Amino acid sequence: MQLDHAIRQEIARAAVGLGASVAEAGQIACGPRPDVCRALSGLGADPLLLALVSSWRDSNDELGVLNSLRELNGNGEFKFFRLPPRDGVAS
């Protein structure tokens, strides 16, 4: 259970890095995995982040998921983990 909590914390950190407020990030991280993926996708998350979250609870390597999320979050450069804007114009 501690591992699940730690993964959810890293998901919340990723959501904040993608522009969600701390409150929104907490709500996102508390949801079921499909809702988490949908919310992160709506924030423009890169397919790599979405793949990590999708593999959470669907693999035998939950510690690997946690460590990968920590590595992505530790970089601090979420611009490298975002899709380009759909209209092609950067904000």
Domain assignment present for residue 83? The answer is no
> Which sign, positive or negative, has the C-alpha torsion 29, 66, 42, 24?
positive
Domain that residue 68 falls in: 2-75
pLDDT in tens, 8-50: 999 999 999 999 999 999 999 999 999 999 999 999 998 889 9
Residue 88 confidence class, pLDDT cut points 50, 70, 90: low
DSSP secondary structure letter of residue 46: -
pTM confidence score: 0.79
Whole-number pLDDT of residue 2: 93
Asked if 56 contacts 40 with a C-beta cutoff of 8 angstroms, the reply is no
Give how many domains the chain has, as a whole number: 1
